[in-house]
């Protein structure tokens, strides 16, 4: 199984709208993804995700829209090395 991992910064109206919770739910619904999501002090949301390329791409597609109430204006992505001790997909506070 090939694994991809990305750190993704989401900009726009993404804090205070349930973005982290919805991201975790979307990642879990896709299955086979590990990682974390957290709010950043500058108003962005940071997502780190690892998994099979198709599933990672599906979550990246979801992040471009986000949940109802969010207004995503952009994504910035960086490929990273998967973190082996990630256990599921969690909200990091």
The catalytic site residues sit at 20, 39
What local confidence, expressed as pLDDT, does residue 87 receive? 80
State the virtual CA torsion across 26, 88, 91, 21 in degrees, nearest 10: 20
CA dist., res. 1 & res. 38, Å (int): 27
CATH (one of 3.30.70.100, 3.30.70.2190, 3.40.50.300, 3.40.190.10) for 21-91: 3.30.70.100
Every domain of the chain and the residues it spans: 21-91
10-residue averages of pLDDT along the chain (93 residues): 92 97 97 95 97 96 96 96 82 87
What local confidence, expressed as pLDDT, does residue 83 receive? 75
CA dist., res. 24 & res. 1, Å (int): 23
What local confidence, expressed as pLDDT, does residue 46 receive? 98
What local confidence, expressed as pLDDT, does residue 85 receive? 74
Burial class (CB in 10 A: 0-12, 13-18, 19+), 10: buried
């Amino acid at each position: 199984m090939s694994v991809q991992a990305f750190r993704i910064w989401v900009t726009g109206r993404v804090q205070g709208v349930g973005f982290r919770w919805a991201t975790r739910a979307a990642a879990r619904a896709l299955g086979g993804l590990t990682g974390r999501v957290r709010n950043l002090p500058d108003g962005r949301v940071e997502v780190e995700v690892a998994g099979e390329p198709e599933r990672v791409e599906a979550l990246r597609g979801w992040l471009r829209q986000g949940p109802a109430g969010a207004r995503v204006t952009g994504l910035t992505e960086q490929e990273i090395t998967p973190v082996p001790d990630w256990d599921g997909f969690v909200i990091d506070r």
